[in-house]
Amino acid sequence: MQTLFTAKKVYAVDEQFIVHNAIVIEDDKILAVGNFEQLSTQFPAATVNTDFAEQYIYPGFIEPHLHFVSTAAMLGGVVPLSFTEWTVGGKVYPGVRDPETYRNKLIEIIAQEADRELLVVWGHYEPLHGEVTMAMLDAICPSQPLCIWGGSIHKVTMNSACVEKFKVNELDDKMFGKLVDDKDQSTGILIEQAMMYICKTQMFPIIATQESLFKGLNDVLTMGRRKGVTTAMDMGIGFTGLETELAILNAADSIPGMPRCRKAYMMNFQSAYTFNDCDHDKAFAFVDEHYRSNQNNPMVIPLRAIKFFADGAVSDYEIMLKEPFKDGRSTGLLYDFEDCNADTMRADMQRYWNKDYNICVHTQGNLAHSMMLDNMFAMQEIKPGRDGQMFIQHLGLTDNDFYERIDKGAVKPCASVTPYYSYHFYTSWKKEDILPDSCYPMMQRARTAIDHGMMVSTNSDIPLMPTNPILATFILMTRLNKEGDVVLGEEAITREEGLRAITSVSAKQHLLDDRIGSLEVGKLADFTVLDFDWMEDDLRLLEELDAHAVFVGGLPA
């Protein structure tokens, strides 16, 4: 069946950035894009749909970095108390941005949720909410196991009852992220690998039932549907078990009321490696066979990519910088597990690079970025790669040396920017004054990255922030923060670059541009409808804008 949609404008976001006013779809594919009168004549049997005659049609928006099942597990089993607003299960949880309100609200939640076996309150951000310690939590919640999960998802703080319940003091002292006092006892704080281990083995089995997982996944996909998302990419599936997570994603589309969304994913190297007996050959064979066997799945799509971790979260200052932090703290490379470390990282990446896999690296600080360029150039010497094959996640803080080195290289990395650092955190970071002063001009340099030939997309990294490519792009185009001030205005990208960041560029970065990312003949009929002209209307409207309609494979999402 053929359907002819007409609109005020149809932004194809193809290479020429041509604007039309009509599109024809047949089943789940695009049959034609062009002028309404011409297409009416060319396809006389097509059913004409004028529902969007006063709106604007775009390629379906892409969320290139989220975490489906771990976020679903959280939203289905935690209580949000965050620096930004969340809507979970139809209930709105307002953002809290000062210590007194945070503490009062936390005490209120503890009283309301006293019957829970384990109470997990998620969304803490120290620069706005103040410090949380085990002693403080013991004072307000002495007996019920209580865990405060940081908004970055890289840190948890527990009361004594939770430390005992999780047997934290029995963790291997060599595990990165187990923070202890001068008596080698847990401080109640876990970060990075220790935190992930406890979440996977202790927390999720309690809070993540099958019912809560699907409820949480519905919340994740509903957020995306509201903001025009038709495809989303999980940056490192398998945190709670690969088979379990894939079963949940594959089952989602058969559940009545679950929003339609293409769910792409990659494995993270650490999970694949440890799952395959710490054998490099077995791990690669496992990843590659899985990709080849499932790559044609239209709705749950494996990406030709593998994820590595360099440093941690900017919001928790767990990043590697060339200059010392003002408070003297030390950080290091997160790549340290089993027999893998900084000395093996390049070789561990190389076998995937040699087979044309994207090497997606979680990297934030300028020192970590420099180390990843070292790896990219070394791999390129052994086996020539392609532009964008080294895929930097977040692009937190990059210095001029980073871009000068890129200009001299044979291939360029690409990046997906999480713009909420400047939007939510910039002012509080300045106030805390822990980062070196040199860091602030380095923040999320999307303009500089594009000018030096890098492909740049933008992401929300849910559960860091609600999925919202519209707001994320608004931030990169305007460089406005939450208070309405401009942060590094010289790093603003253009309107066209912003629209490409959540459509064609994101698709190309993930090697899916033959299927999605632009409205062209033969591609999948995924499109988003807005009451907004991207190239003409006031950008401030984007800050609160929702999608008017969303289609995936020609069907309403």
What letter would DSSP give residue 493?
P
Domains of the chain: 1-54+517-557 (2.30.40.10), 69-207 (3.10.310.70), 310-493 (3.20.20.140)
- Quickly count: other Cβ atoms within 10 Å of residue 450's Cβ: 19
Residue 364, CA atoms < 13 Å, CB-side half-sphere: 21
Please give the single-letter amino acid code of residue 204. F
Q: How far apart are the first and last CA of the chain?
A: 18
Whether the CB-CB separation of 366 and 321 falls below 8 Å is answered with yes
In the block, residue with structure tokens 């409205």: 519
Along the 557 residues of the chain, how does pLDDT read in single tens digits? 999 999 999 999 999 999 999 999 999 999 999 999 999 999 999 999 999 999 999 999 999 999 998 889 888 889 999 999 999 988 999 999 999 999 999 999 999 999 999 999 999 999 899 999 999 999 999 999 999 999 878 899 999 999 999 999 999 877 888 889 988 899 999 988 898 889 888 998 898 888 888 999 999 999 999 999 999 999 988 766 788 889 999 999 899 999 999 999 999 999 899 999 999 999 999 999 999 999 999 999 999 999 999 998 888 888 999 999 999 999 999 898 889 999 999 999 999 999 999 999 999 999 999 999 999 999 999 999 999 999 999 999 999 999 999 999 999 999 999 999 899 999 989 999 999 999 999 999 999 999 999 999 999 999 889 999 999 999 999 999 999 999 999 999 999 999 999 999 999 999 999 999 999 999 999 999 999 999 999 999 999 999 999 999 999 99
| Residue whose C-alpha is closest to residue 529's, from 504, 502, 496, 556 | 556
What letter would DSSP give residue 324?
-
Whether the CB-CB separation of 475 and 420 falls below 8 Å is answered with yes
What is the phi/psi pair of residue 390, to 5°? -85, 115
Please give the single-letter amino acid code of residue 436. P
Copy the structure tokens of residue 286: 């496992």
DSSP string, 12-41: ---TT--EEEEEEEETTEEEEEE-HHHHHH
Please give the single-letter amino acid code of residue 513. D
| Residue whose C-alpha is closest to residue 166's, from 182, 185, 145 | 145
Number of helices (H), then strands (E), belonging to the chain: the values are 21, 24
